[in-house]
A and B are shown apart, each in its own frame.
Chain A
Amino acid sequence: MGKTRKMVLILLTLVMISSFAGCAGGSGGKGSRKSITVYNWGDYIDESVTKDFEKKYGIHVTYETFATNEDMYVKLKAGGIHYDVIFPSDYMVARLIREGMLQKIDLKKIPNYKYIGEEYKDLAYDPDNEYSVPYMWGTVGILYNTTMVKEPVDSWDILWDRKYKKNIFMLDSQRDSIAVALKKLGYSLNTRDKMELKAARKELIRQKPLVLSYLGDEVKDKMISGEAAMAVVWSGDAVYTMKENPHLAYAVPKEGTNLWYDAMCIPKSSKNRKEAEAFINYMNDPDIALRNTEYIGYSTPNTGAFEKLDEETKSDATAYPDNQSLKDSEVFEDLSDIISTYNRIWDEIKAAQ
């Protein structure tokens, strides 16, 4: 009796330990079936596309999402899960390249790369197009409700107007919010100047009593239901919300803004490069890219998909602004060497009362 119980308990202990060990190793393919893990922004794809990809190629897709570039970076760096395709933005692509965390992509394996427009190639974050394939692009601007904002919106200054106290949503993303203040003050959003950053911090703390909330993806629902007069949003979200609520309008301030590109990359830790390249290629098929851009509202760099868009969308200045309105806009550069200054500023803004 005593012996049996002993055995049972030892067994139980072993089972416990081995099951934990099992958790650690289980992210790869099960059996012979190929599988990839895709790590994308939340709400940033027509999810039926991944289902169709699975059907067509027989590759299982595990789909995970993140809310900001920084969240994605920390999780990738921690290395618990081997992601095969990730969707970082410009400055994060540059940082990942610099830190040796990306594999080179063989463009010969991505025949649909030919559809990428010339203006989206050879960009500063990946000058030789070795590591990334553009997915979407856009701007940051002010989404406003025309029933609550009667004056023209053309400057970041309006976000500091006392009239709109507790009627403003800001982005809960440190680089984007600090960039708004830098641009308002007429500085570059890639500044390394301590005094300029300090001034931006002061502006944002001064603005805080006017801000109703710092939001992520929820901002779309809140603006559609008319919770606030204005919100700082990414252009694609503006396209989506304006479709849902006709009183909403979008403006890119005259001081210039952040022009951004999100790209698809393959992390170094990926063991399924062939499948990852197949996925990236599939995403650049004009019909698939069209489905994605129509579903999420963001602007596609895929000329094949662009041609298939209806005329109204093609001429929509929110999604496809002309060069004139973007002349003072900048693309984020990698500032990870002074990231602790940024973290510190953001902490102070969030903690301020």
Chain B
Amino acid sequence: MKQRWMAYPYIVWMILFIVVPLALVVFYSVTVQSGAGIRFTMENFRRCLDPIYIKVLIRSVVLALISTGVCLLLGYPVAWILSGKEYSKKKILYLLIVLPMWMNFLLRTYSWMTLLERNGVINFLLTRLHLPPLHILYTDGAVVLGMVYNFLPFMILPIYSVLSKLDGSMIEAAQDLGGDAFTVFRRIILPLSLPGVVSGITMVFMPAVTTFVISRLLGGGQFMLIGNLIEQQFLSSGDWGFGSALSVIMMLLILLSMGIMQRHEQESEGGVLW
């Protein structure tokens, strides 16, 4: 009984900030406002199926997948080093990963612009070393770089927390039974760390596929992602119906990918991190 009372403020919170906005988004997506009043229609969704918008959607998913892949390739070894007992500077490394997150996200992304500019810091150093300058700002590469830079900690931390809780006796047992380092990793460590990997993938993929700030600043407004398209409908075009329809499709997409991930997690019977 007591516990139910405890939940009331949270229920109010949920209704105000989750249920009501969601209902509004769905409502806007299936209506059109005309002079005569509000009319129900599927027009907004039909417009989403237009090839140019499908192309934008595919592009967002592809860029998000690439960044998630890069994060995984970079993040797993770092998490491994962090969780290892032999590495003495662990605490400092951990701090270095978390520290940038204390700074404002927008500010960090903005500073990449200054770094990557034609006459920016990186190119200044490169030309001093007599190396060819980089022309990466306002390309897909810069957008992926921005995503990886911003979301890498979300990959490292869940993997790290699973790896650091690994039962050392399992690894020892595998070694005793004659497994070489690679076999131990492939047969024992990797399967046991999968829940962390899955959490990491979800936590990187979702913000990456929805971002609009990174693509706006580092992509120079020419590589439109679904987030930019939605932003434009709400802030510039004033077409809330179409923007909402795009948001609904986006949410379904995320729900779907979460569902797939969840199933994986259950199959690998690991603990869920969040």
Contact = CB atoms under 8 A, between A and B. Distances in A.
Contacts of A211: 222
Interface in B219-238: 220-222, 224, 228-229, 232, 234-238
Contacts of A352: 52
B81 to A, nearest CB: 38
A86 to B, nearest CB: 16
Contact of B236 (A70, A208, A226, A353): A70
A172 B16 contact: no
A75 B237 CA distance: 11
A305 B65 CA distance: 57
Contacts, number: 81
Given A12-B9, A74-B235, A350-B232, 13 more contacts: A2-B2, A13-B9, A13-B12, A16-B13, A74-B236, A213-B222, A214-B221, A214-B222, A225-B119, A226-B119, A350-B221, A351-B52, A351-B224
Nearest to B13: A16
B99 interface: no
28 contacts: A9-B6, A13-B12, A16-B12, A68-B236, A70-B236, A70-B237, A71-B235, A71-B236, A74-B235, A74-B236, A74-B237, A211-B222, A213-B138, A214-B220, A215-B220, A225-B119, A227-B117, A227-B118, A228-B118, A340-B239, A343-B237, A343-B239, A347-B52, A347-B232, A350-B232, A351-B52, A351-B229, A353-B59
B239 to A, nearest CB: 7
A228 B117 CA distance: 10
A194 interface: no
Interface residues of B, number: 31
B5 A172 contact: no
B263 interface: no
B238 A77 contact: yes
Contacts of A68: 236
A353 B6 CA distance: 53
Given A9-B5, A215-B221, A351-B56, A227 B119 contact: yes
A338 interface: no
B9 A351 contact: no
Contacts of A24: none
Chain B CB within 10 Å, residue with most, of A2, A16, A343: A343
Contacts of A49: none
A330 B237 CA distance: 24
B90 interface: no
A56 interface: no
A348 B235 CA distance: 17
A213 B220 contact: yes
B53 interface: yes
B55 interface: yes
Nearest to B219: A213
Interface in A211-230: 211-215, 222, 225-228
A332 B224 CA distance: 27
Q: Categorize the interface residue count of chain A.
A: 35 or more
A73 B234 CA distance: 11
Contacts of A227: 117-119
A216 B222 CA distance: 13
B138 to A, nearest CB: 5
Nearest to B140: A353
Contacts of B236: 68, 70-71, 74, 174
Contacts of A339: 237
A212 B220 contact: yes
B16 A225 contact: no
B238 A74 contact: yes
A139 B220 CA distance: 24
A16 B9 contact: yes
A227 B5 CA distance: 60
Interface string B60-72: 0000000000000
Interface in B1-43: 2, 5-6, 8-9, 12-13, 16
Contact of A212 (B16, B119, B138): B138
